[in-house]
Amino acid sequence: MDPDAVAKAFVEHYYSTFDANRAGLANLYQDGSMLTFEGQKIMGSQNIVAKLTSLPFQQCQHAITTVDCQPSGPAGGMLVFVSGNLQLAGEQHALKFSQMFHLMPTPQGSFYVLNDIFRLNYA
C-alpha cells in the first residue's frame, strides 16, 4: 500500500478514535511505546492511555491541516508529522497543535505507535 495512503489512514483512524472513544487508543500502543505530551514523558500503552483519558476535557475535535510522512528505515517504520487544530467543547477558540508519530509494523499487517510527541503551538 502506498505510504502516503497508509499515513493518512492512520491519522484519520487515530484522531477519530481520540475524538469518539479515547480508551480505544490502547490497541495503537504497545509496552515499549513512548509518549511525550507537552514535555511530560510517559511509557507503555496502559500509562499512555491513562494520560490521554485523564486530560482535562471530555469532548474534543481534531481538525487536521497537514500530514507529512517518510519511511524511517529498513525495519519498515514510518514517521508521520501532523499539524492541525484541537477544538475543545465550550472553548471559543481552537488550539493549534503539532504531533509526530513513529509507526512500526505489526506481524498482522497493521501499525502501532512506537514514538509519539505532542505539542501545542502557541501564537
Partner 1 sequence: MEEQVEMVGKAFVDHYYHLFDNNRTALLSLYQPTSMLTFEGQRIHGVDGISAKLNQLPFDQCCHVISTVDSQVSAFAGGIVVFVSGSLQLQGEEHPLRFSQMFHLIPTGQGSYFVQNDMFRLNYG
Residues 88-117 close enough to bind partner 1 by CB under 8 A: 96, 98, 100, 102, 114-115, 117
**Distance of closest approach, residue 41 Cβ to partner 1, in angstroms:** 8
> Please, are residues 73 and 103 in contact by the beta-carbon 8 Å criterion?
no
Q: Which is nearer to partner 1, 59 or 121 (CB)?
A: 121
Residue 72 dihedral angles phi and psi, to the nearest 5°: -100, -10
Burial class (CB in 10 A: 0-12, 13-18, 19+), 39: exposed
Residue 13 in contact with partner 1, rule: CB under 8 A? no
Cα three-residue angle 73-38-34, rounded to 5 degrees: 40
Residues 33-92 close enough to bind partner 1 by CB under 8 A: 34, 36, 39, 41, 66, 68, 70-73, 75, 77, 79, 81, 83
C-alpha span between 91 and 98 (Å, rounded): 19
Q: Which residues bind partner 1 (CB under 8 A)?
A: 32, 34, 36, 39, 41, 66, 68, 70-73, 75, 77, 79, 81, 83, 96, 98, 100, 102, 114-115, 117, 119, 121, 123
